[in-house]
Chains A and B, each alone.
Chain A
Amino acid sequence: MTSKLPAGVADVSIDEIMNDSPCGFVSSLPDGTIVYINDTMVSWLGQDRKALLGGTRFQDLLTVPGQIFYETHYAPMLRLHGSVHEIACQLKRAGRSPFNVFMNSHLKTDPDGRPRLINTIVFEATERMHYELELRRARSEARRLAAIVTSSTDAIISAGFDGIVRTWNPAATRLFGYTETEAVGRSVDELIVPDGSQERRLRAYEEIRCGNHKHISETVRHCKDGRLVPVEINASPVLDADGRASAVSVIFRDITGHKRGELQLRESEKKFRATFDNAAIGMAQVGPDGSWLNVNGRLCEIIGYSSEELLSGAFQDITHPDDLAADMASVQRMLNGECDSYSMEKRYVHKDGSAIWVNLTVGCERTANGAIDYFISAIEDIAARKLAEAQNALLMAEVNHRAKNLLAVVQAVARQTARSDDPATFVERLTRRIASLTASHDLLVKDQWQGVDVLDLVQSQLDHFRSLFDARVSFDGPTLRLNAHAAQAIGMALHELATNAGKYGALSNDEGRVRISWKVSDAPNSAFAMAWLEENGPEVVAPRKPGFGQTVIVSMAERAVGGTADLAYLKSGVSWTLSAPVDRILEGPRND
């Protein structure tokens, strides 16, 4: 260590310089034995200087991988080249983690060229490695950011506060049509800001310069081809190392798709609304608790409440108390997830208090976790059907009742016929009497039990003599409708009269006549009267014993109409008259 120092520093020894130096210095023999080591190196190693100088080899200072590297690379390279530079290595330290260093060695040789001494300068590497690591991280981060910007589907540009474009990503090219080369260096006002919006753009840039972020959810920008494209804008300041805003970064998102989707959604919503509102059946959305969320006009019509009135309540409020339990049970099953729909016939209580029969079908919309979001109800007014069902049931009961009554009458006729006739004529008599009943019955059914026209009744009972109508059998009377009860009784009486006339009376010869007439006398004591008058027939005589026929003609008829009947066997022929109060005999005003 002998060299000339500049004048004035002669009092500073080389040794002092070495020891004060911020780097380590080690001299060693070719076999590695340390012959000199400075203070800095000693302090890094944390060992005793004497021990280090007492035979420790340089390579012993290194960590195991460092030693291997020294033997296999470092020493051979040193012998070959005479020096090595900036080799990263780790020093062992007593009781501490290894110390990162860079090593530079120089090989001194004797005049014969044989290795004599190795001088090694050791630099601390920790800081530099940190710095390099940081740099690498920053570079990789920058690359990552660049990749994001490049691959972003949103247009991302940066510009100075003067509006001049500095960067322009591929998405910006796709969106606006300008290539990066075309855009960079030109003003955004010139490129994409629509005329008239420059002022606004400028104000926004000023806000950003102050460090603010700027968001515009919907606006338009110009494209190269002249189109205006709807965009969402996010602009932020780009900060320099001092934290000052040095530029503007702007992200443009193309919202054409959103706009179209929004339009379609609005259109579909409108269609749904129209369908919902104008549906021919009642429809509603109902919350899981039963509250009405949405009701249509038809439903309001069915139950008589306005939509405002309904929407302030729940379906439970207007459900008929007798049907609520069943409805709630079905709702519970849906809430439990046991089913997704149900259908039932139930009653609502109309605003006017009446019960309204409806057919209810309920579906539902569930949330992602399966809970009911809302119910969808379709409500069909089945009042008409229910009424028809009730009427039908009533009608069937009535038909059954009438059929049984008629059978009872037939049975009575059969028994009576059997009483007074000999077995030979029984079947013929009974058959004719049943036919007579059938004829009256046909007329009743034809007019739905709303009474029978007198002329129709009379002619149907004398059908057997139809060929004599007008010539020998005449009818005279106003159009009147007999009630069902009177029609049956008078029908039977006419049948018996006609049978007798054909057998013994005016219709049993060739010139006899029968005149049948009816009328209603004037008020106040308005009465119905009917007459059967035979003439020109053979002389008649009263039967010795009144038979069933006579009972029917007189007492049956009287009882049926609450009136009086007279049967006389006149020389000129049979005469029968019947009179009765109008209210007992005529059909009231038709109820259809």
Chain B
Amino acid sequence: MTDEQARPMRVLIVEDEPLIAFEVEQTLTDAGFAVVGVAARVEEALAIVEGGALDAAVVDANLNRVSAAPIAIALTQSGLPFIVTTGYTREQLPEGFQAGTLIEKPCLPEQIVEALHAALQIKREPGPQM
């Protein structure tokens, strides 16, 4: 992270449950991430992804009974790593979330932080280092 230390990683939180969003936001901020937005709806999230000023995202798969798959697809297409938090199991998830790291709810916000670190690490260092 040496060369990145000047600029914190920018993360979008997509979560319809404000309390959980608040928790995640607090934890990510404490962990040194810059939370660039908290979106509760698909359109809001897509606007931020399209804006481009983003390094990763934490996405709740279900936004008040609406699937967040379009967001996952947009993130995948932009090559951005993302964490999927969901009350569903992987089998129950619709298509589109495959590229994400799945974390089942309920989870500790710290798990999300770890998963983000791992995802960003992989993105920065593609391929195994022999």
Chain A residues proximal to chain B, CB less than 8 Å: 397, 400-405, 407-413, 415-416, 483-485, 489, 492, 551-552, 555-557, 559-560, 562
Known contacts A404-B105, A405-B105, A408-B107, A562 near B40 by CB under 8 Å? yes
Asked whether A559 lies within 8 Å of B106 as measured between CB atoms, the reply is no
How many whole Å from B112's CB to the nearest CB in chain A?
A: 11
With an 8 A cutoff between CB atoms, is B17 at the interface? yes
CB interface residues, B 104-125, toward A, < 8 Å: 104-109
With the chains together, A485 CA to B87 CA distance in Å? 16
Q: Which residues of A contact B107 (CB under 8 A)?
A: 408
With the chains together, A557 CA to B108 CA distance in Å? 23
How many whole Å from B12's CB to the nearest CB in chain A?
A: 15
Residue of A402, A411, A483, A555 touching B22 (CB-CB under 8 A): A555
Q: Which residues of B contact A416 (CB under 8 A)?
A: 19, 22-23
Could you show 22 A-B contacts with beta carbons less than 8 Å apart? A401-B88, A401-B92, A403-B87, A404-B87, A404-B105, A405-B87, A405-B105, A409-B17, A409-B19, A409-B20, A411-B108, A412-B17, A416-B19, A416-B22, A416-B23, A555-B18, A555-B22, A556-B19, A556-B22, A559-B21, A560-B18, A560-B40
How many whole Å from B123's CB to the nearest CB in chain A?
A: 27
Asked whether B20 lies within 8 Å of A559 as measured between CB atoms, the reply is no
With the chains together, A519 CA to B79 CA distance in Å? 46
Asked whether A408 lies within 8 Å of B17 as measured between CB atoms, the reply is yes
Chain B residues proximal to chain A, CB less than 8 Å: 16-23, 38, 40-41, 62, 64, 86-88, 92, 104-109
How many whole Å from B110's CB to the nearest CB in chain A?
A: 10
Known contacts A401-B62, A416-B23, A407 near B106 by CB under 8 Å? yes
Asked whether A552 lies within 8 Å of B19 as measured between CB atoms, the reply is yes
Known contacts A551-B22, A560-B18, A408 near B105 by CB under 8 Å? yes
Closest B residue to A413 by beta carbon equals B19
How many whole Å from A521's CB to the nearest CB in chain B?
A: 23
Asked whether A408 lies within 8 Å of B106 as measured between CB atoms, the reply is yes
Residue of B38, B64, B87 touching A559 (CB-CB under 8 A): B38
Asked whether B23 lies within 8 Å of A412 as measured between CB atoms, the reply is yes
Known contacts A408-B105, A409-B17, A485 near B92 by CB under 8 Å? no
Asked whether A400 lies within 8 Å of B23 as measured between CB atoms, the reply is no
Q: Which residues of B contact A410 (CB under 8 A)?
A: 106
Asked whether A559 lies within 8 Å of B18 as measured between CB atoms, the reply is yes
Task: Indicate the member of B17, B23, B38, B86 with the most A CB atoms within 10 Å.
Answer: B17
Closest A residue to B108 by beta carbon equals A411
How many whole Å from B93's CB to the nearest CB in chain A?
A: 11
How many whole Å from B78's CB to the nearest CB in chain A?
A: 25
How many whole Å from A453's CB to the nearest CB in chain B?
A: 19
With the chains together, A412 CA to B15 CA distance in Å? 13
Closest B residue to A397 by beta carbon equals B92
Task: Indicate the member of B19, B86, B109 with the most A CB atoms within 10 Å.
Answer: B19
Known contacts A401-B62, A415-B23, A485-B64, A408 near B87 by CB under 8 Å? yes
With the chains together, A562 CA to B18 CA distance in Å? 10
Asked whether A402 lies within 8 Å of B23 as measured between CB atoms, the reply is no
Asked whether A556 lies within 8 Å of B18 as measured between CB atoms, the reply is yes
Closest A residue to B64 by beta carbon equals A485
With the chains together, A403 CA to B89 CA distance in Å? 13
Q: Which residues of A contact B105 (CB under 8 A)?
A: 404-405, 407-408
With the chains together, A405 CA to B6 CA distance in Å? 36
Residue of A397, A403, A412, A562 touching B20 (CB-CB under 8 A): A412
With the chains together, A489 CA to B20 CA distance in Å? 12
With the chains together, A60 CA to B86 CA distance in Å? 130
How many whole Å from A418's CB to the nearest CB in chain B?
A: 12
Asked whether A404 lies within 8 Å of B106 as measured between CB atoms, the reply is yes
With the chains together, A411 CA to B17 CA distance in Å? 12
A-B complex: 4 closest residue pairs judged by Cβ atoms = A404-B87, A401-B87, A408-B106, A559-B18
With the chains together, A485 CA to B19 CA distance in Å? 12
How many whole Å from A392's CB to the nearest CB in chain B?
A: 14
Q: Which residues of A contact B23 (CB under 8 A)?
A: 412, 415-416
Q: Which residues of A contact B19 (CB under 8 A)?
A: 409, 412-413, 416, 492, 552, 556
